[in-house]
């Protein structure tokens, strides 16, 4: 099936949008037919989000035109776009946790009907599209997948002609993804066009009729996803040939105690609406990688804080090589070779307004011996910063640059490199490649594997299942602050992983109760 067999719905021609210092979109053209599921494919920063924001009326293009069913289309605000029949589900939800589902839906509508009628309508639409949802439930009690359903149903009630979905599966378990895809296919069959933004290639292959691939703001190709392999599309997206990371030979280190052991760890979350950790136990030996999966907000941040020493626990709950360190702070833990790379680069892993030299000192001070009697050895710190920049190919004009001036991927390379260069024994990395382009991600994964080969015990916390399956020896899932017992990755099926993640909420919940 090709585009021109369908009646044209939206045509985008020569759209350009520049922000100071960056061209987000340059001469972008593509078309969506009625009832077509069209993928916008590209890495982070390729310009996908800017493009759909222009279609949704949130951003005005600098130049270029759009036509909607043959007529000129230039929405000045989202309301105008909605009036034409465009609806959008954002990656980050805009819901009020203290209100129920129906009230949240009403808040997003132009002319909401009465609450009773609306609740009935929500029930009707949600059953019609296989998205079970109780209109009376508080949004605060819903899972991420259920929250997304609220957003989708809010859109469906407007009877859209074009539904834009921005990275919809990043918060879903595999089973929830299946439910979502069934709904989207049903919508497309009924004539609703879908513009689907993602960088997950297998999903696009199974769902989308056609794809437009963006790289650095430009259209670099279009294809029928079913006819291409994921590898081919990835290389189009990245513009380079990708080599998968390689694992060095495994050794038996002959330790009698695991490098890191966590025993019945309980910790209250320091974050408002955070998830407290409940009875978490696992062990990692030298040379092993434990992958911890889970939908964001299930205790990943808290687990990282408890491992780095930012939250302390009873001493015996965290053991490194048999030594109790649960009550020790970050500096003590680094001293014995236990390093952590937090997920949030800017503000947590690095101080945004400080230079790379100061940020190198931030965690390097202890293990790199950068202080003498409390005084900072700045020349040695500069040398350490330069070493990180060189070894991990951090693109920066120099070590004096503030951390916030670096792109996300470059700062991530700096932050991970800073920890890996300290010849650590135990490494915890939260979201190693989040928001990083494919080439940099490959380099980071290779660096992690190399450290494992060199004998470090590594814990990778990630929401990217493919990444975890590629890297890990053992696999566990964090769900509502509890950790499933780790299982070897070999022989683990995607369905089993889905069930470990708590399965789908709603329709499939019965399956594993």
Residues near other proteins (CB under 8 A): 16, 18, 20-21, 60-65, 74, 308-310, 329-331, 334, 340, 342, 344, 347-354, 358, 361-363, 365, 371, 374-376, 378, 401-402, 404-405
Minimum distance of other proteins from residue 330's CB (angstroms): 4
How far apart are alpha carbons 513 and 509 in whole angstroms? 7
DSSP state of 199: S
Closest by CA position to 168, among listed 150, 190, 193: 150
Closer residue to other proteins, CB minimum distance, 245 or 435: 435
Closer residue to other proteins, CB minimum distance, 13 or 229: 13
Minimum distance of other proteins from residue 1's CB (angstroms): 32
Minimum distance of other proteins from residue 354's CB (angstroms): 6
Closer residue to other proteins, CB minimum distance, 117 or 331: 331
Closer residue to other proteins, CB minimum distance, 78 or 352: 352
- Which residue, chain included where needed, has tokens 């931030």? 362
Q: Say how far residue 123 (Cα) sits from the centre of its chain.
A: 31
Minimum distance of other proteins from residue 430's CB (angstroms): 11
Minimum distance of other proteins from residue 305's CB (angstroms): 8
Minimum distance of other proteins from residue 23's CB (angstroms): 12
How far apart are alpha carbons 341 and 268 in whole angstroms? 21
Minimum distance of other proteins from residue 158's CB (angstroms): 25
The beta-strand segments (E) located in 390-484 are 426-430, 457-461, 474-479, 482-483
Minimum distance of other proteins from residue 202's CB (angstroms): 35
**What pairs with residue 16 in β-bridges?**
63
How far apart are alpha carbons 480 and 501 in whole angstroms? 10
Residue 91 and residue 99 in contact, taking contact as beta carbons nearer than 8 Å? no
Minimum distance of other proteins from residue 374's CB (angstroms): 5
SS3 222: strand
DSSP state of 138: B
Closer residue to other proteins, CB minimum distance, 16 or 281: 16
Q: CA-CA distances (angstroms) from residue 471 to 33, 138, 233, 500?
A: 40, 38, 22, 18
Closer residue to other proteins, CB minimum distance, 4 or 76: 76
> What is the number of alpha carbons within 13 Å of residue 97 lying toward its C-beta?
7
How far apart are alpha carbons 434 and 461 in whole angstroms? 11
Minimum distance of other proteins from residue 394's CB (angstroms): 16
Minimum distance of other proteins from residue 348's CB (angstroms): 5
CA dihedral 168→170→173→179, nearest 10 degrees, is 10
> What is the number of alpha carbons within 13 Å of residue 149 lying toward its C-beta?
34
Q: CA-CA distances (angstroms) from residue 420 to 392, 437, 455, 465?
A: 10, 20, 12, 22
DSSP state of 481: T
Minimum distance of other proteins from residue 38's CB (angstroms): 23
Terminal C-alpha separation, the chain: 42
SS3 14: strand
Closer residue to other proteins, CB minimum distance, 362 or 492: 362
Closer residue to other proteins, CB minimum distance, 62 or 470: 62
Closer residue to other proteins, CB minimum distance, 71 or 513: 71
The DSSP H or E segment spanning 145 is helix 144-156
How far apart are alpha carbons 61 and 436 in whole angstroms? 26
Closer residue to other proteins, CB minimum distance, 46 or 403: 403
Closer residue to other proteins, CB minimum distance, 310 or 386: 310
Closer residue to other proteins, CB minimum distance, 113 or 347: 347
Closest by CA position to 197, among listed 189, 186, 207: 207
SS3 23: strand
How far apart are alpha carbons 513 and 141 in whole angstroms? 19
């Amino acid at each position: 099936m090709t585009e021109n067999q369908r009646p044209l719905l939206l045509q985008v021609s020569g759209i350009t949008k520049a922000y100071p210092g960056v061209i987000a979109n340059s001469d972008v053209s593509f078309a969506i037919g009625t009832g077509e599921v069209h993928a916008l494919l590209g890495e982070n920063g390729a310009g996908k989000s800017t493009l759909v924001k222009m279609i949704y009326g949130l951003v005005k293009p600098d130049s270029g035109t759009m036509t909607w069913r043959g007529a000129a289309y230039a929405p000045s605000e989202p309301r105008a776009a909605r009036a034409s029949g465009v609806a959008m589900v954002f990656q980050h939800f805009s819901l009020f946790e203290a209100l129920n589902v129906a009230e949240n839906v009403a808040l997003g509508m132009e002319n909401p009907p009465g609450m009773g009628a609306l609740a009935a309508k929500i029930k009707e639409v949600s059953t019609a599209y296989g998205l079970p949802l109780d209109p009376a439930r508080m949004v605060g009690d819903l899972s991420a997948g259920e929250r997304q359903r609220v957003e989708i149903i809010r859109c469906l009630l407007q009877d859209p002609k074009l539904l834009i979905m921005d990275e919809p599966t990043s918060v879903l378990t595999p089973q929830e993804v299946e439910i979502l895809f069934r709904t989207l296919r049903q919508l497309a069959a009924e004539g609703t066009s879908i513009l689907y933004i993602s960088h997950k290639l297998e999903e696009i292959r199974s769902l989308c009729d056609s794809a437009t691939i963006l790289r650095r703001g430009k259209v670099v190709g279009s294809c029928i996803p079913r006819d291409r392999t994921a590898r081919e599309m990835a290389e189009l997206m990245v513009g380079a040939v990708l080599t998968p990371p390689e694992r060095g030979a495994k050794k038996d280190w002959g330790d009698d105690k695991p490098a890191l052991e966590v025993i019945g760890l309980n910790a209250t979350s320091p974050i408002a609406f955070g998830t407290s950790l409940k009875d978490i136990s696992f062990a990692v030996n030298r040379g092993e990688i434990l992958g911890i999966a889970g939908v964001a907000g299930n205790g990943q941040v808290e687990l990282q804080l408890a491992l780095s020493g930012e939250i302390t626990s009873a001493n015996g709950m965290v053991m490194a090589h048999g030594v109790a360190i649960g009550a020790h702070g970050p500096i003590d833990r680094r001293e014995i070779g236990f390093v952590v790379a937090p997920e949030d680069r800017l503000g947590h892993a690095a101080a945004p307004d400080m230079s790379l030299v100061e940020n190198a000192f931030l965690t390097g001070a202890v293990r790199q011996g950068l202080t003498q009697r409390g005084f900072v050895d700045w020349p040695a710190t500069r040398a350490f910063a330069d070493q990180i920049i060189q070894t991990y190919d951090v693109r920066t004009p120099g070590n004096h640059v503030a951390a916030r001036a670096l792109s996300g991927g470059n700062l991530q390379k700096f932050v991970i490199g800073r920890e890996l260069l300290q010849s650590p024994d135990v490494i915890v990395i939260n979201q190693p490649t989040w928001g990083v382009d494919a080439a940099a991600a490959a380099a980071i994964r290779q660096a992690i594997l190399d450290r494992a080969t060199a004998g470090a015990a590594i814990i990778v916390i990630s929401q990217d299942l493919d990444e975890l399956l590629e890297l890990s020896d053992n696999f566990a899932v964090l769900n509502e602050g509890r950790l499933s017992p780790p299982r070897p990755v070999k022989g683990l099926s995607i369905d089993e992983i889905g069930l470990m993640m708590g399965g789908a909420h709603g329709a499939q919940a019965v399956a594993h109760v």
